Chain A
Amino acid sequence: MGLKSSEAIVIGGHNLGEADRIVVLYTLSYGKVRAVAAGARRIRSRFGGSLELFSHGRLVYFERPTSDLHRLNEFALCEPFHGLRTSLELLTAASEVVELGGMAGVEGEGSAELFALILGALRRLNNGMELSLLLRTFEIRMLRTLGYLPEIDKCVRCRRSLPEGVQSFGLNEGGLLCPVCRGGAMETTTVSPAALGFLREALQGEIGSSHVTLIPEVREEVRYLLQTFLEFKLGRRIRSARFLAGIPGFSLDTLSSH
């Protein structure tokens, strides 16, 4: 009841009325929280620039029991992540991290695993990590956190082991399909052994600890597989993931963050 406090990351927001702002946060203790920051857009606002996208800090808010829109009292900034605004590529990659965090997060229900995943990815991006592979690592881990980790070791349907070579991935089935089971499957996409190797590696250790490199074709294959599967499972397009595709001269593959 009343005042609540939690570690939080700003994952979204939009303007409200004259000078207020609705801020969307992912909090460690209470999951997704939407709160109104009064006067946040005024140049001399008490919030300063602390409520900008990606900010990590300590949130204090007044919970309104009858509404899912609360009142933001205080946000003590820990990490502003200014480095994430130094290129459009980096800003777009970080946007995908918080956008997916918002799609996966639930109001009123905190997940320490999801919180750590979002914060870990932002930190890696901010500290200079190859962008597209970090995003792919983030995406496969996000699927695991959501309980949608695809079966990539045996046939998802009959549990038999798979022959060597290029595999078939069933979107509806949520995993690889053996030559017998893939017959009746509706939506499938192919996955190469190199792509599967990357996915297995990406699930190990700390986020971004892997040193795997991929040729452009395999990179594109992994991107397509993970984004298609995530959008299929979440039932919504990931806007940031498609953002740079339509802009000539910008690509996540041409630039690492620093």
Chain B
Amino acid sequence: MAIRYASPLNRLVDVLMRLPGVGAKTAQRLAFYLLKASREEAMKLAEAIVEVKEKIRMCERCHNIAEEEQCVICQDPTRDGSMMCVVEEANDLLAIERTGTFKGQYHVLQGTLSPIDGRGPDQITAKELLERLRSGGVKEVILATNPNVEGEATALYLARLIAPLGLRVTRIALGLPVGGDLEYADEVTLGRALDGRREMG
């Protein structure tokens, strides 16, 4: 039988446990830390959470995180409108930005395809991507999904989806070992991967 704490504390443990990578033990440790912390420190955390939910939204163009209707990249007039890099998550976009190698536009899919998990194209922003590409301007699409089975499935699908548009479609590959997450790649590896991208479709 688990020990039941006073209910506000229970509630905090419950919500913390829903965070990715946080189990029961960690949730309890975090909750007790916050209980002992100064009111000021706890409020700072609470306010930061509220602020992020109120001020950060999804860019209406590329689905990156944004503070306004469009993200800073979409608003930047110096970015090259003829190149578009397609990534799984906003984290991957940040990783590629850190390399400083890429100066074009992005599109964030917000997920991947997975036959074995039954995740299809309606669960990513593929339709929005196609609409953006149809509206013109982009000459090359770089598929920068993760080099694992889900990322490959997604890239294979997108390559055929956009093939009728007659654009140059490339896939990043060189330098990235299969099975890893883009988010954890170091700048040199990721930069080289972008330089060594290959034709697809």
Contact = CB atoms under 8 A, between A and B. Distances in A.
A178 B189 CA distance: 66
A51 interface: yes
Interface string A69-101: 000000000001000011110011001101100
B180 A43 contact: yes
B74 to A, nearest CB: 28
B115 A92 contact: yes
Contacts of B161: 249
Contacts of B117: 239
A126 interface: no
Interface stretch (A12-20, A104-112, A168-176): A12-20
Most chain-A Cβ atoms within 10 A of its Cβ — which of B115, B118, B121, B152? Answer: B115
Interface of B: 20-21, 113, 115-118, 120-122, 147-149, 152-153, 156-157, 160-161, 176-181, 184-186, 189
Given A40-B179, A43-B177, A237-B118, 7 more contacts: A42-B180, A45-B179, A49-B147, A92-B153, A244-B115, A247-B157, A250-B157
B120 A247 contact: yes
Of all A-B residue pairs in the complex, the 3 with the closest CB atoms, nearest first, are A49-B178, A239-B118, A49-B179
A47 interface: yes
Contact of A88 (B21, B147, B160, B178): B160
25 contacts: A19-B184, A41-B180, A42-B180, A42-B184, A48-B177, A49-B148, A49-B177, A52-B148, A52-B178, A52-B179, A85-B149, A86-B156, A88-B153, A88-B156, A88-B157, A91-B149, A92-B115, A237-B118, A240-B118, A243-B120, A244-B115, A246-B120, A247-B121, A249-B160, A249-B161
B133 to A, nearest CB: 16
Contacts of A18: 21
Contacts of A45: 177, 179-180
A48 B157 contact: no
Contacts of B147: 49
A252 B118 CA distance: 16
A98 B149 CA distance: 13
A239 B156 contact: no
A210 B173 CA distance: 37
Contacts of A54: 149
A239 B116 contact: yes
**Secondary structure of the A contact surface, majority rule:** loop
Interface of A: 12, 16-19, 40-45, 47-54, 80, 85-88, 91-92, 95-96, 98-99, 237, 239-240, 242-244, 246-247, 249-250
**Secondary structure of the B contact surface, majority rule:** loop
Nearest to B151: A85
Contact of B115 (A16, A43, A51, A243): A243
A52 to B, nearest CB: 5
A99 B179 CA distance: 19
B116 A53 contact: yes
Given A239-B118, A240-B115, A43 B149 contact: no
A17 B181 CA distance: 13
A48 B184 CA distance: 13
A95 B157 contact: no
Nearest to A91: B153
A242 B118 contact: yes
A53 B115 CA distance: 12
A136 B79 CA distance: 50
A51 B179 CA distance: 7
Contacts of A47: 179
B116 A95 contact: yes
Contacts of B116: 12, 53, 95, 98-99, 239-240
A255 B112 CA distance: 23
Most chain-A Cβ atoms within 10 A of its Cβ — which of B116, B117, B118, B122? Answer: B116
Contact of B181 (A19, A85, A92, A98): A19
